[in-house]
A = this chain, B = another copy of it.
Amino acid sequence: MTLTITAFERSPDGGKGLARDSRVRWALEEVNQAYEVRLVSFQAMKQPAHLALHPFGQIPTLEDGELALFETGAIVLHLGQRYPGLLPEGAEARARAVAWMFAAVNTVEPPILELTMARLFERDQPWYADRLPALEARVRTRLQQLAARLGDADWLEGAFSAADLMMVHVLLRLRSTGLLDEFPPLAAYVARGEARPAYQRAFAAQLAVNTRAA
């Protein structure tokens, strides 16, 4: 059965690996599944053919036979349930890993996205300097809490799992802000994720797309 994902024809980050298709590529590499990529332009993302796959006109999507999925959390979870390598054995450990996946996208990512969006799009606004400290404080709170829970562990729930895949990729977006470096255990955690061969292959694949596009 062919697995097909969608990705940006030309990523807004120019190939830094921050677009969300990287999460799905990484998951596919961790479970050793070959996949095809259909590149979509910003214009095509808002057209009916793509909206049928993704109601909110974003990437990535996954087509797995008759099944079409959107939302990286759901796609990574689906791959983890279908193939070994991404989720712990045992219903309870698996449920805890799912909790971390939701925490990554619902509790940690939103303040990070708000901060990075402000840095990109509000820098010239008169209120930027006044808002920035509050945005950074929200992110720091989450990082401090995450670092406290991680402690000396390498990964969030036993061995590396989809929980770490999602969390590491969410944290990667912080690199350009310098905030990650304020929490050395988290910077090391992210580096452990990036050092995985599966991540390296995923990163190289998205970079190749964006190098060709440039």
* A binding-site residues for B, Cβ under 8 Å: 51, 55-58, 66-67, 69-75, 77-78, 92, 95-96, 98-99, 101-103, 105-107, 109-110, 113-114, 125-127, 130-131, 142, 145-146, 148-149
Closest residue of chain B to A58 (Cβ to Cβ) is: B107
How many Å lie between the Cα of A70 and that of B70 in the bound state? 23
Q: Are A110 and B113 in contact (CB under 8 A)?
A: yes
In the assembly, what is the distance between CA of A13 and CA of B190, in Å? Answer: 37
- Nearest 10 Cβ contacts at the A-B interface: A127-B127, A74-B99, A71-B102, A55-B149, A73-B102, A105-B106, A110-B110, A67-B92, A74-B102, A74-B98
Is chain A's binding surface mostly helix, strand, loop or mixed? helix
Of B73, B78, B127, B146, which is within 8 A of A106 by CB? B73
Can you list 8 A-B pairs, Cβ within 8 angstroms, ordered by A?
A: A55-B145, A55-B149, A57-B145, A69-B96, A71-B102, A71-B107, A77-B98, A126-B127
**Contact among B57, B70, B145 for A56, CB-based, below 8 A:** B145
Across-interface contacts of A130 in B (CB, < 8 A):
125, 127
A105, B105: Cβ atoms closer than 8 Å? yes
Known contacts A67-B92, A74-B103, A125-B127; 5 additional CB pairs below 8 A are A55-B103, A70-B103, A102-B105, A106-B109, A110-B113
